[in-house]
Amino acid sequence: MNCFQGTSLRLALICTVLLGTFTSINVYAQTADNTPKVKVFPIETVNRSTVPGKASTFTWKDGTNLSNLIQYGAGKVIFLNFWATWCPPCRKEIPDIIELYKEFSENEVLVLGVSMDRDDEALKTVSKFVRLKNMPYTVLVGNDQVADAFDGIGAIPTTFIIKADGSIAEKIVGARSKEDFKSAIMRAMVKK
């Protein structure tokens, strides 16, 4: 009888721990407004554009889904921000980028961050930073190939505003305000 009680007690304890774990995973995977947190993905492949004025593209995997920058952003303006967790001007403009993400519909503007962190644990470092700063937009971990494909990222932050047709509207080097970014996006939305 004592053995059964001990086993029952252990089973109850295990069930309680598992239930608590699943509950905390669910809470952790959602933000305060009950929307899923965005994950951080490494860039898989890079394809440099051979057409002058057109943006290069790259891919990343979200689970089993392979996404391509130009296809993923087809028909939208793409706001592509190259940054790093250790870069003070990059960190300063993140709240403005978050506001832009919230202000524009996902059908109009695709906001993506590309971290240029290079430490051995870059994916872990960036994921922790994204959670800490509550960054709701997709963040990718870049590499030298993606920097080269975008004509070398000589300074960060560097932001590309890409039109719905895949052409580069603007390359913005250095930190900017929300108003500056919004003006660039609005200019890229104008159809000629």
Q: Are residues 15 and 44 in the same domain?
A: no
- The CATH number assigned to the domain holding 125 equals 3.40.30.10
Identify the pLDDT of residue 192: 62
Taking only the tens place, the pLDDT of each residue in 52-101 is 999 999 999 988 899 999 888 999 999 999 999 999 999 999 999 999 99
Q: Are residues 170 and 136 in the same domain?
A: yes
Q: Are residues 21 and 90 in the same domain?
A: no
Q: Are residues 95 and 162 in the same domain?
A: yes
Which pTM was predicted? 0.80
Q: Are residues 8 and 41 in the same domain?
A: no
Q: Which domain holds residue 42?
A: 37-189
Q: Are residues 10 and 68 in the same domain?
A: no
Q: Are residues 41 and 17 in the same domain?
A: no
Task: Write the DSSP string, the chain.
Answer: -HHHHHHHHHHHHHHHHHHHHHHHHHHHTB-TTSPBPPPEEEEEEEE---STTBPPEEEEEETTEEEEHHHHTTTSEEEEEEE-TT-HHHHHHHHHHHHHHHHS-TTTEEEEEEE---STTHHHHHHHHHHHHT--SEEEE--HHHHHHTT---SSSEEEEE-TTSBEEEEEES---HHHHHHHHHHHH---
Q: Are residues 162 and 75 in the same domain?
A: yes
Q: Are residues 9 and 63 in the same domain?
A: no
Q: Are residues 4 and 89 in the same domain?
A: no
Q: Are residues 127 and 178 in the same domain?
A: yes
Q: Are residues 129 and 169 in the same domain?
A: yes
How many domains does the structure of the chain reveal? 2
Taking only the tens place, the pLDDT of each residue in 112-146 is 999 999 988 999 999 999 999 999 999 999 999 99
